[in-house]
Amino acid sequence: MTLEQLAPDKNVSTNIPQRATNIAATRSSKIGIVGHDVTYVLAKTVANPIWESSGSQTVRLQEVTEEFGVFSLEVGGERNKGLHTHHSIWLVENQALFDRLDWLPSHEPTTVIWFRGQLHNKLIDWLSMPDRAPMVYFFADYDGVGLNNYRRLKEKLAERSEFWLMPNWKELLVHYGLNQLWVDTAREFDSFERNSPSLLEQSPMLLDLVKEMKKQGLALEQEAIWLSDFAQPDNSET
């Protein structure tokens, strides 16, 4: 096979997207530098939180939410670098929690951002800016992936981030927890434990969750929030 067949064209314009350059050089967009400069997340506001751009210019995201249901945020580039809110942000992993917000613990103004699976590094970096939001609440599945995502967030946001535990979480875990989800995310759970000793020392409630997950061999999906009224305390050991 000739060099031209392996690398059709290495002298393309620097103005074209990187993944197109990869195709020219390797015939594959996935060989070479494969990341994108920005990523996009879906969000919606609740009770009209205050958002401002650079220069304290108000951004009317509540009106956008009411008209279109959601809005998309570009993060990682310059466009929304100065965007910030005076209120909290919630990160939720699953679409049901994003579609229906009656699970929120209060009616305070807030913004809910939906992520899927792995929390994107660009979103973490964007949230980590000191003035972005006073507090970011993290609510994901109680499994190895969710815990590891929180560890990554906490490393950048420190005291401005909090892992949210459902009311009645222990009964929900025992009553509705899934062993297969525990098994499937065991590697991520072990990684979280190894890399989070100080985090667990500072978060007694999170430590209780981790201990209970290990004791039961169970993980819990976050949609169980709507089953809280049905879970009964487990009194078998009393």
For the ranges 26-40, 138-152, 180-194, the lowest mean pLDDT is seen at 26-40
Give Cα separations from 228 to 38, 50, 65, 224 (angstroms): 38, 31, 28, 7
- Residues β-bridged to residue 110: 46, 88
Confidence of residue 17 (pLDDT cuts 50, 70, 90): low
Query: Chain-wide mean pLDDT for the chain?
Result: 89
Q: What is the pLDDT of residues 136-179, one digit of tens each?
A: 999 999 999 999 999 999 999 999 999 999 999 999 999 999 99
The answer to whether 122 touches 76, Cβ cutoff 8 Å, is: yes
pLDDT of 32 strictly over 70: no
Q: Which amino acid is at 15?
A: N
Q: Which amino acid is at 208?
A: D
Confidence of residue 28 (pLDDT cuts 50, 70, 90): low
pLDDT of 238 strictly over 70: no
pLDDT of 49 strictly over 60: yes
pLDDT of 108 strictly over 60: yes
pLDDT computed for residue 36 by the predictor: 62
Domain boundaries, the chain: 1-34, 36-139, 167-238
